[in-house]
Amino acid sequence: MLARVLAALALLVLAWAVPAQGPARAALWLAPYAVAGWDVLWRAARNIVRGQVFDENFLMAVATVGAFGCGEYPEGAAVMLFYQVGELFQSVAVGRSRRSISRLMDIRPDYAHLLRDGQTVRVDPEEAAVGDVILVRPGEKIPLDGVVLNGAAALDTAALTGESMPWQAGPGDEVLSGCVDLSGVLEIRVTRPYGQSTVARILELVESAAEKKAKAERFITRFARYYTPAVVGAALALFLLPTLLLALLPELPAWLAGTVWSDWLHRGLVFLVVSCPCALVISIPLSFFGGIGGAARQGILVKGGNCLEALARTGVVVFDKTGTLTQGDFQVTRVCPAEGVGEEDLLALAALAERHSGHPIAQSLKQAWKGEGTEVPVTGVEERPGLGVTALVDGRRVAVGGRKLMGSEGVACPPCEEAGTAVHVAADGTYLGFLLLEDAPKPSAAAAVAELKRRGVRTVMLTGDRPAVGEAAARRLGLDEVHAGLLPAGKVDRVEQLLKETPAGRTLAFVGDGVNDAPVLARADVGIAMGAMGSDAAIEAADVVLMDDDPAKVVRAMDLSRRCLRIVRENIVFSLGVKGAVLVLSAAGVTGMWAAVFADVGVMVLAILNAGRMLRK
């Protein structure tokens, strides 16, 4: 395209420089026109045959061929050349947007080194199974999610999270596929098959993002469908009606006096050039595409332009507590057994019942207990979201969870007003005591809440914890309100109520990470999931995924979406404003083809350059 534009420009300068008349002059100007616009003419003809008449190719073909027919060779050739210059700018802008997203494609692993009988075997990542051990050397990408067994290394997580600082990983740490090993050899036990790994989920999210169009994009598509035939009809009327009046009226009105039919043909052609909707049809989707690509570079995966648009209008942000605003890294601070029960026995029963759970509280209980006696049989494990866990431990029915679980098991549970999360334990219908756990807020949580409030956003926290625990966390973080003691169904009901209270024209965003958050994420106007360690169900239900679980990214995502919508509005107002003004002036004969070139190509280039701002950090 660049070569064609430069060649057409050289031929255009030559045609201007060489004095010629008649057929020779037409041939001189036809050369740059043909080099610049042969593909536009071909697409216009092909679309007419297929019944797809009214598009920008048709408008440009009719306008420029008409200009040549009227003997206005310089205008016809220049309009086509500048149209292709605009197309060149468009391809450069789209290429930049695609590259910003294609960088994410680089995280796709090409192979995995599988350890078998002390030997390494190079296999496709999809061939590795859960439980296999893989070897990752410095400079290689981690192909699958897993837990480090041996070794230590600095990991580059920039492709996943947008953060430039390496992260140190060692034995026992969970690592994500797509990270790059910078320094050491790691032996990693695979915890997820490739199809469910972080890298596979990211690629699936990014590849499907373009399918979900924003309202502005859908409006522009419909607008162009009706707008193009309307302006073709208007251009024909602008030419035919005055021409008929010139032929039929014996006495001409003032606005027709001194004109001939060719003047009105010229005005009609100028009208066609001006009315070409390229600036809107190209720049609006490009703005959303750039927004999705720019967000992805910062570790924020947006599942479509519609999600970006809804996020920009957020008026209420509702947070889950554990793992979202807090680190989810609970520590057992007190063991409070009932009379006649030993502290170690209470902790052992709780840890054994939670042995197969991946919940942060379960992990903390297992860490607090040293793991002695793990040969005790544990069967019949039932994890009940928002309540706790029940299991048969050495033949005893053990229930571990909150007060509501104890109530459902028919166990009398004494009140606990101490700060922290109380995990109650019962066996065979007898209350055995409780364990007190505390969860520290994430370092950026308070600042993120403060930034949201500064932007006029109402902040709410929903949690299954006791009111005392939830209120203490809300005070520490500066949230506007908190609702505690909620089960998953209760969270959905509370979000339904908050949706009714949300001002018209504003949206509600819910931020969560757990399995029990999936229904609320799906119900909210915008669901935002923590992607690094969040559950598959939460990520699937969400509209936006934060790859590094940082609450501050909620503010960044909102700012980015608002910037995108602002650029879209600027392009719409600017494009329609300039085109409307030049359309009126061209119909009145005040402006000619060169003003039409600016109103079409110039406006398109400026709108594309404006849309390209979305790619800047």
Residues tagged active-site: 320
CB 320 within 8 A of CB 512: yes
H helices of 278-437, in order, are 278-297, 305-312, 343-353, 360-368, 403-408
- At CA 295, angle to CA 219 and CA 604, rounded to 5? 45
Locate the DSSP E strands across 76-160: 112-116, 119-123, 133-136, 146-150, 153-156
CB 44 within 8 A of CB 58: yes
CA distance 63 to 78: 12
Strand 430-438 and strand 186-190: pairing?
A: unpaired
Strand 314-320 and strand 507-512: pairing?
A: parallel
515: tokens are 């399995």
Residue type, 154: A
What's the distance, CA 465 to chain centroid?
A: 31
CA distance 172 to 408: 36
Phi, psi of 528 (to 5 degrees): -120, 120
Residue type, 247: A
CA distance 156 to 185: 14
Question: Under 8 Å CB-to-CB from 57, ≥6 apart: which residues?
Answer: 40, 41, 43, 44, 47
Phi, psi of 253 (to 5 degrees): -70, 170
Complete edge-to-edge strand list for the sheet that includes strand 180-181: 167-169, 153-156, 180-181
3-state secondary structure of 109: coil
User: b/e map of 262-291 (b: 16 or more CB within 10 Å)?
Assistant: ebbbbbbbbbbbbbbbbbbbbbbbbbbbbb
3-state secondary structure of 254: coil
DSSP annotation of 426: E
3-state secondary structure of 572: helix
CB 77 within 8 A of CB 27: no
CA distance 75 to 197: 57
CB 575 within 8 A of CB 284: no
What sign for the dihedral angle of Cα 490, 496, 502, 505? positive
Element (H or E) spanning 35, and its range? Answer: helix 23-49
Angstrom CA distances, 310 to 93, 183, 383, 509, stand at 24, 42, 34, 9
Give the side-chain half-sphere CA count within 13 A for 543: 28
CA distance 326 to 442: 5
